[in-house]
Amino acid sequence: MNDSSTPANRRLRTLAWGAVPVLAMTALVSMDHIPGTDISLTVPYAAEGPGPMFDTLGQVEGAPVVEIDGTEVDDTSGELRMTTVSVRSGMTLAQALSRWLTTDDTLVPIEQVFPPDLTPEQVEQANKAAFSSSEAAATVAAMNYLGRPVEVVAAEIIEDSAATGRLEAGDVITAVDGQGVDKPGQVQEIVRSKQPGEQVTLTLRRGGAELEETIELGANPQDEKLAMLGVYMNSQPVDGVEVSYNLQDIGGPSAGMIFSLAVIDKLSPGELNAGRTVAGTGTIAEDGTVGPIGGIEHKVRAAAEDGVELFLAPAANCGEALQGQRGDIVVAQVSTLDDAITAMADFDAGRDVVTCG
């Protein structure tokens, strides 16, 4: 007898109808907007996880990652890998839950990655500026270590900035307001001491000729109280040696230390890494100080899982770095370029390495 009013059938009917809102919710959490509207259903979080690694002693798209012209370059072997963090944003609730449940990614508030007061274009410009400053500082730190004098060169002029039409890529900045400069940080310090609308006088060398440009400073789009010149600066040795970095679409300052080590390795006899595979991360200051960065646990984990033997971590990041430690990878604690070079030498010789933890 098929009685639809029996308790069993009533439970079946209840379960069947109860599945409708569940299915609707499943569809809802997988959509990135409400159908027929512009209302976003993405969550206010980003997922941070391991990103790709790049061997700074190797090549990318047929060109050296760290390219040095104007002098002979010493042979290198092994790898010096810069590490990155991948960031996923614009996720639906289902996607965010999936990253949290099935991966080791870290969910962070979206404003930690994309400040709410900045447009995507401004964030991209800020990341590009940080990367350019990192390259310049890496060159200065390396040349300081090697005892080579440097000068400041305009690498790129920001469109519609105070420097547009006044400076050209390749200009060498020799003085600011009559004060001699040989490092990008010195130029930045003088500019930051001024207010938007104030003037600054640059002494330049262009094509063998010396000239002066007096420029009214603009405002930094991230903080309109700060003055901005609008030029990305690099450093180059005064002896005609040129250092360039050929990684594109990489933002932020965290490659600084590894870039600097690659320059030193290419311009000095022997191998800093003793032919081994070494990875690392950290900002670099012009005086060789190594600073902390974000997402290091993901960088250490990616290096460990890919067979890297030694990881160079900023001392201020040691606690987080240990969260990503796997297997036999040694995580060395470094505060300066000298520390990083010493760690590689000690590791190769079998001596105790100053490690995190």
If DSSP codes are grouped into helix, strand and coil, which group holds residue 199? strand
Predicted pLDDT at 41? 63
Q: Which residues contact 338 (CB under 8 A, 6 or more apart)?
A: 145, 288
Tokens of 216: 């009214």
Q: Are 107 and 100 in contact (CB under 8 A)?
A: yes
Tell me the pLDDT tens digit for each residue of 142-168: 999 999 998 999 988 999 999 999 999
Which residue would you say has higher pLDDT here, 36 or 7?
A: 36
Q: What is the mean pLDDT of residues 168-181?
A: 95
User: What is each CA distance from 135 to 166, 201, 314, in whole angstroms?
Assistant: 23, 25, 18
Tell me the pLDDT tens digit for each residue of 314-335: 999 999 999 999 999 999 999 9
Q: Is the pLDDT of residue 267 over 80?
A: yes
Nearest to 278 by CA among 352, 341, 350: 341
Tokens of 35: 């159908």
Predicted pLDDT at 20? 36
Residue 22's φ and ψ, nearest 5 degrees, are -65, -45
Percent of the chain whose predicted confidence (pLDDT) is above 70? 88
Tell me the pLDDT tens digit for each residue of 16-28: 333 333 333 334 3
Q: How confident is the model at residue 86 (pLDDT cuts 50, 70, 90)?
A: confident
CATH hierarchy code of domain 43-120+242-357 = 3.30.230
Instruction: Name the residue ranges covered by the structural domains of the chain.
Output: 1-30, 43-120+242-357, 149-238
Predicted pLDDT at 87? 84
Q: For the residues of 274-336, what is the DSSP string, one character each?
A: TT-EEEE--EE-TTSBEE--S-HHHHHHHHHHTT-SEEEEEGGGHHHHHHT--TT-EEEEESB
Domain 149-238 in CATH 2.30.42.10? The answer is: yes
Tell me the pLDDT tens digit for each residue of 280-315: 999 999 899 999 998 999 999 999 999 999 999 999
**Alpha carbon distance 163, 153 (integer Å):** 14
Q: How confident is the model at residue 236 (pLDDT cuts 50, 70, 90)?
A: confident
If DSSP codes are grouped into helix, strand and coil, which group holds residue 342? helix
